Amino acid sequence: MYPNQRNRRLRQSHAIRRLVSENQLTCNDLMLPLFIAEGTKVKEPIEAMPGCFRLSLDLLQKELKSIADLGIKAVLLFVKVDDALKDNKGTEAVNPEGLMQKAIRKVKSITPQIVVMTDVALDPYSSYGHDGIVEDAKILNDSTVEVLSKMALSHALAGADFVAPSDMMDGRVLRIRTELDQAGFTDTGIMSYSAKYASSLYGPFREALDSSPGFGDKRSYQMDPANRLEALTETLRDIEEGADIVMIKPGLAYLDIIRDIRENVEVPIAAYQVSGEYAMLKAAAEKGWLDHDTVMMEQMLAFKRAGANLIATYHAKEVAQLLA
- Applying CB under 6 A, the residues found at the interface with ligand PBG are 119, 121, 123, 131, 166-167, 202, 205-206, 218, 274-275
**Active-site residue, 196 included:** yes
Task: Give whichever of 110 and 252 is closer to ligand PBG, judged by the CB atom.
Answer: 252
Residues 6+ positions from 28 with CB-CB distance below 8 Å: 71, 73
Options 80, 106, 218, 249, the catalytic residue: 249
Report the relative pairing of strands 133-135 and 138-140 from DSSP bridges: antiparallel
The residue annotated as part of the active site, out of 80, 86, 106, 196, is 196
Give the integer Cα–Cα distance in Å for 269 and 281: 24
Contact predicate 114/77, CB 8 Å? no
- Cβ atoms within 10 Å, residue 87: 15
DSSP string, 135-152: ETTEEESHHHHHHHHHHH
Question: 144 vs 188, which CB is nearer to ligand PBG?
Answer: 144
Closest to ligand PBG by CB, 110 or 210: 210
Least CB distance from residue 99 to ligand PBG, whole Å? 15
Residue placing its CB nearer to ligand PBG in the complex, 51 or 112: 51
Q: Determine the residue type at 125.
A: Y
Please write down the HEC assignment for all residues of 23-69.
CCCCHHHEEEEEEEECCCCCEEECCCCCCCEEEEHHHHHHHHHHHHH
Contact 130, 83 (CB under 8 A): no
Secondary structure tally for the chain: helices H, strands E:
11, 12
Cβ closest to ligand PBG, residue 185 vs residue 205? 205
- Minimum CB separation from ligand PBG for residue 35, in Å? 10
Q: At what angle do helices 255-262 and 292-306 cross, to 10 degrees?
A: 30
DSSP 219-245: TTTSBPTT-SHHHHHHHHHHHHHT-SE
Cβ nearer to ligand PBG, comparing 29 with 119: 119
How near is the Cβ of 11 to ligand PBG at its closest, in Å? 35
Q: Which residues are catalytic?
A: 196, 249
